[in-house]
């Protein structure tokens, strides 16, 4: 197969699991991997956590390489099937690119400090104690829910819609939908509010009510900030990332298929 820009310089990243280490050794015997600083494409071995770690690392450094993931973890929703060390370069050459956009979060704590982070799956607000969280929700500056009482609330990207969002009974979003899922977590009031599907260009703000008695933490993927007073979230269109999938196994098809799994 002819060399393509995606296969010219490949870097390798793997999880610390024994399966991933063994696969990395076998792949390294066949492929002359380069340091990530010299790479055109990154090959990630592991599960969805490994993929998220790789994407976040690139967001932090500003070097956004296309990533071809091979599942050597548990779920592997964002990964391709691992079928041995042979043929990986050819698969990358045929792979379908899929653009994903992270959420940009700003959290302001009760002491007035500002914390910024990005999330590829979701930003979730969660009660810190046995006390129910009370959160005011605004969309584009307009208050939509004056007081949501419950365990919390989350805002999910299409890529993250099959993760925590789905567990909280939120909707599955096709990857190309350009939508966000706003989903309550164990809501007590409004009891029957199912959440909302919002356009991707929405700016969603959360204000914690009674933060002293009802403290709330916010989690952007793996990063947690405790005792928040306000949280503002929007899509970071300038930080678009690219995942590579085998034809017929792209993330958009998997999102559709997931809706028919029982």
Q: Residue 192: pLDDT band by 50, 70, 90 thresholds? A: confident
Residues above pLDDT 90, as percent of the chain: 79
**Residue range 36-46: mean pLDDT, rounded:** 95
pLDDT in tens, 7-27: 779 999 999 999 999 999 999
Q: What is the pTM of this model?
A: 0.86
Model pLDDT, residue 4: 63
List binding-site positions: 48-49, 121-122, 151, 162-167
**Residue range 164-175: mean pLDDT, rounded:** 92
Model pLDDT, residue 54: 92
Model pLDDT, residue 29: 95
Checking if the pLDDT of 261 tops 90, the result is: no
HSE, CB side, 13 Å, CA atoms: give it for residue 143.
Answer: 7
Q: Look at 11-15, 194-198, 200-204, 249-253 and tell me which has the smallest mean pLDDT.
A: 249-253
Checking if the pLDDT of 3 tops 60, the result is: no
Checking if the pLDDT of 1 tops 50, the result is: no
pLDDT in tens, 100-144: 999 999 999 999 999 999 999 999 999 999 999 999 999 999 999
Active site residues: 48
List binding-site positions for NAD(+): 48-49, 121-122, 151, 162-167
Residue spans of the domains in the chain: they are: 5-101+240-258, 103-237
Question: Do the two domains 5-101+240-258 and 103-237 of this chain adopt the same fold?
Answer: no
| SS3 state at 209 | coil
CATH class of 5-101+240-258: alpha beta
C-beta separation of 107 from 205 below 8 A: no
Return the higher-pLDDT residue of 96 and 77: 96
**Residue range 200-212: mean pLDDT, rounded:** 96
* CB neighbours of residue 251 within 10 Å: 21
Checking if the pLDDT of 5 tops 90, the result is: no
Checking if the pLDDT of 60 tops 70, the result is: yes
* CB neighbours of residue 194 within 10 Å: 12
d(CA 254, CA 94): 18
First to last CA, the chain: 40
CATH class of 103-237: mainly beta
* Distance set, CA 262 to CA 43, 172, 257 (Å): 31, 14, 11
Ramachandran region, residue 222 (left: φ > 0; alpha: ψ -120 to 50; beta: rest)? alpha
The pLDDT mean for the chain works out to 92
Identify which of 72, 86, 10, 73 has the alpha carbon closest to the alpha carbon of residue 41.
10
């Amino acid at each position: 197969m002819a060399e393509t820009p995606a296969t010219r310089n490949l870097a390798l990243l793997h999880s610390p699991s024994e399966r991933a280490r063994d696969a990395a050794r076998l792949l390294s015997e066949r492929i002359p991997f380069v340091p990530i600083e010299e790479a055109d494409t990154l090959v990630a071995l592991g599960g969805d956590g490994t993929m998220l770690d790789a994407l976040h690392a690139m967001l932090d450094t500003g070097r956004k390489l296309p990533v071809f993931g091979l599942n050597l973890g548990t779920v592997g929703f964002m990964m391709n099937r691992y079928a041995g060390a042979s043929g990986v370069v050819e698969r990358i050459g045929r792979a379908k690119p899929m653009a994903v956009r992270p959420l940009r979060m700003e959290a302001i704590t009760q002491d007035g400090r500002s914390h910024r982070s990005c999330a590829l799956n979701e930003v979730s607000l969660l009660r810190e104690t046995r006390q129910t969280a009370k959160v005011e929700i605004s969309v584009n500056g307009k208050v939509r829910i004056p007081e949501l009482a419950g365990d919390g609330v989350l805002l999910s990207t299409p890529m993250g819609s099959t993760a925590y969002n789905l567990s909280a009974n939120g909707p599955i979003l096709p990857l190309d939908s350009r939508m966000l899922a706003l989903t309550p977590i164990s809501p007590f009031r409004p009891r029957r509010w199912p959440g909302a599907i919002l356009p991707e260009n929405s700016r969603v703000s959360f204000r914690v009510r009674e933060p002293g008695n009802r403290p709330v933490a916010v989690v952007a993927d793996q990063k947690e900030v405790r005792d928040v007073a306000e949280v503002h979230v929007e899509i970071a269109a300038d930080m678009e990332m690219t995942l590579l999938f085998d034809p017929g196994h792209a993330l958009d098809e998997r999102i559709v298929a997931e809706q028919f799994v029982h």
